[in-house]
Every structure is written in structure tokens, then in C-alpha cells.
């Protein structure tokens, strides 16, 4: 598998993309890379033809008329298509620097994955998998992207990430339950000291997910948790007092780790933009006095600066107050002062 991965990268290194020019699929120049793709597919089939007793299909992109600028190989669960589905994608950098691998969705028919934004007006990834057309921009289709660089010399990490990505695909498709998914998701680890937080039975929590990748994922599938927070916070954002219910989200103070963290003391009702800033550590809450703290990084914004040192609205019942341990963890470890 290593050789074929590297050969695919070398093809693009030796045949850089020229704007406005393409390579016809019948061009003999492509013979070696086509062979490498076919062999790469065969190696993947040996390892991932069956996952959790379910048959998988592997598709290799070769283009219809022109060879694609961004070559990709997809491992498809049942009833999934590259153009319409959720699957594991291996997308090769358009300049041959390596590949991005992970659970992905179709660019043309997105399925609602909680994708990570790898490329924006302010961010450019090391491995770029955006093609020339709108339907071939693949940087922002992954939920758990991981970069693998040329020259790849050890395939064990690649194999492990593919397996974990398949577990995430199966979970998103409803093929496996959360407990089964977590068995495959051992990459979701962090250095959080769980003894620091015990108010909401954190000792029983099995999964400790990486914050950036998963916290936004937590906003899906937690209808009951959100409804509970809307009730205890009287249908208002705890920080802005916004009463537009459609804009209010159930924010986890301490990282989402499954249903065990969907507890009222570990939640706070926030307007969507405040939730994002809270997740990014640009807004926090002082655990001693419940006063809002604004990061210096957004202190230039007049609106958010006005929120600094204002006191949040608290639930009526003390037992529903935000956990002081959770707030302290966020304030000391997530907040970017």
C-alpha cells in the first residue's frame, strides 16, 4: 500500500496542474498512475472489503474525459455513492504532498456531517484537495480529517485512521450504536484530568473527545438536552438575553463526551454566535462570580466588549446552576485570555 500511495503522489509532483489545461483519460502518460490507483484499491479491498460484517465497495476516481486534478479513493458503506453519501475518502493533494483521509460526505449532496473547515479566506491547509470546479472542492467535506504526507513510510497510522473513520461513518449512518462506535474511536483522546470535574458524574464517562473536532458535533442529536436548558434558562441566552429560541443552542461547558455530559450543570444556553466563541475560548465565564470574560483577541469588537464583566443569567434552582468545576476547567484551560 505504501508504494502505491507514494506513486500517486509522485505522479502529481511530476505532472503539476496547469490552469486551463487537462490530461485526457486516454493519455499514455496516465498509465502508471492508473496502475497505482488500481493496486491501491486492491490493497484496500484486502483490508476493508468487510467492516463489522458489512460488505464495502471501493471506488477509484479516474475521470470520464479528463483525469481529475484531485485524485480520490472512497470506501463506501452499503447504499452510499461518491456523489451522494457518507463514506471514507482518501483525497490526494493536487501538488503531490500527500493525502487527507477521513469520514466525508458528498460535496454535491451534503448529508449534514459536522465537517471541519480546513480551507477558508483566512485558512489554507498544508495538503490542498480543492479542485477547479465548485463540485470538486474537497477540503471541507471531512468530519475527522487527518493529513498523511509523502513520502509515506509507515502505513499502520493510515490503516488505523481508516478503521476509525469507518466506525464514524457507520455511526453517522446509524449502522452502529454509540457504544459500538466508541470502541472504534480510540483516537478521541485528550489530556483532561477528569478528577478535576466530578459534579455531573464524570467518573462514569467513557469517551473523552477532542474539543475542536467534536464539540460542534455535540449540537446534533441532543434535542432533549437543549429543551431542558431552554426551560431552566427561561428561553433566554444566559449571556445576551436573546429570546429568539431558534438561535439558542445547548452549549457544553466541558467537552461533549456522549450522553453522560448532557447534564444541566454541564450546560448553558447560548445564542449561536456566543456558543461558537465559547467553544473557541474567546468568551468564558468566571467560575467565582459568573461574570463574562472576553478574550483580548476579540476586544476590538465593540459589541462583544460590552459583554465583558456582565453577569450571566442563572437558572431559578441552584441545582441547575453551571457546575463550578466545569466553568473553572473552561476558564483555566480553554479560555484564551
Residue-level pLDDT at 180: 59
Residue 296 lies in a domain: yes
Cβ atoms of 75 and 88 within 8 Å: the answer is yes
The total number of structural domains that make up the chain? 2
Residue closest to 137 by CA, chosen among 74, 91, 198: 91
Tens of pLDDT along the chain (337 residues)? 999 999 999 999 999 888 778 899 999 999 999 999 999 999 999 999 898 889 999 999 888 889 999 999 999 999 999 999 999 999 999 999 999 999 999 888 888 888 888 988 878 899 999 987 777 889 999 989 999 999 999 898 899 899 989 999 998 888 887 555 555 554 333 333 334 434 444 444 444 444 444 444 444 336 778 889 999 999 999 999 999 988 898 888 876 544 445 678 889 999 989 998 998 899 999 999 999 999 999 989 989 999 999 999 999 999 999 989 889 988 988 888 8
Q: How far apart are CA 315 and CA 129, in angstroms?
A: 47
Final residue before a domain boundary, out of 138, 173, 208: 173
Dig out the grid coordinates for 202 from the structure: 464524570
Note the pTM of the prediction, 2 decimals: 0.57
**Same domain flag for 20 and 169:** yes
The CATH number of residue 150's host domain is 3.30.920
pLDDT of residue 188: 37
| 147 and 241 part of one domain | no
| Domain enclosing residue 86, as ranges | 2-173
3-state secondary structure 7-20: HHHHHHHHCCCCCC
Q: Are residues 167 and 207 in the same domain?
A: no
Query: Is residue 71 included in any domain, yes or no?
Result: yes
Amino acid at each position: 500500500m505504501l508504494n502505491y500511495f507514494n506513486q500517486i503522489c509522485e505522479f502529481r509532483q511530476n505532472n503539476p496542474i496547469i490552469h486551463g489545461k487537462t490530461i485526457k483519460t486516454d493519455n499514455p502518460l496516465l498509465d502508471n498512475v492508473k496502475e497505482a490507483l488500481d493496486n491501491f484499491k486492491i490493497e484496500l479491498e484486502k483490508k476493508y472489503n468487510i467492516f463489522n460484517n458489512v460488505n464495502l465497495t471501493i471506488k477509484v476516481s479516474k475521470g470520464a474525459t479528463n483525469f481529475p486534478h484531485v485524485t480520490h479513493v472512497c470506501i463506501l458503506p452499503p447504499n452510499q455513492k461518491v456523489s451522494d453519501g457518507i463514506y471514507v475518502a482518501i483525497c490526494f493533494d493536487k501538488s503531490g504532498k500527500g493525502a487527507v483521509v477521513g469520514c466525508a460526505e458528498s460535496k454535491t449532496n451534503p448529508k449534514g456531517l459536522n465537517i471541519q473547515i480546513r480551507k477558508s479566506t483566512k485558512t489554507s491547509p498544508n495538503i490542498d484537495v480543492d479542485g477547479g470546479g465548485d463540485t470538486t472542492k474537497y477540503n471541507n467535506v471531512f468530519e475527522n480529517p487527518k493529513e498523511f504526507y509523502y513520502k509515506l513510510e509507515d502505513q499502520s497510522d493510515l490503516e488505523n485512521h481508516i478503521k476509525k473513520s469507518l466506525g464514524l461513518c457507520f455511526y453517522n449512518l446509524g449502522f452502529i450504536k454509540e457504544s459500538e462506535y466508541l470502541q472504534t474511536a480510540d483516537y478521541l483522546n485528550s489530556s483532561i484530568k477528569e478528577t478535576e470535574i466530578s459534579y455531573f458524574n464524570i467518573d462514569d464517562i467513557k469517551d473523552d473527545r477532542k474539543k475542536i473536532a467534536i464539540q460542534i458535533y455535540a449540537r446534533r442529536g441532543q434535542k432533549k438536552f437543549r429543551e431542558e436548558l431552554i426551560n431552566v434558562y427561561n428561553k433566554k441566552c444566559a449571556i445576551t438575553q436573546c429570546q429568539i429560541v431558534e438561535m439558542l443552542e445547548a452549549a457544553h461547558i466541558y467537552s461533549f463526551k456522549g450522553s453522560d455530559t448532557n447534564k444541566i450543570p454541564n450546560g448553558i444556553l447560548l445564542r449561536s454566535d456566543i456558543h461558537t466563541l465559547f467553544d473557541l475560548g474567546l468568551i468564558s465565564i468566571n467560575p467565582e462570580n459568573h461574570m463574562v470574560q472576553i478574550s483580548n483577541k476579540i476586544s476590538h469588537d465593540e459589541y462583544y466588549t460590552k459583554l465583558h464583566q456582565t453577569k450571566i443569567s442563572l437558572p431559578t434552582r441552584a441545582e441547575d446552576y453551571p457546575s463550578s468545576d466545569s466553568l473553572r476547567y473552561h476558564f483555566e484551560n480553554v479560555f484564551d485570555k
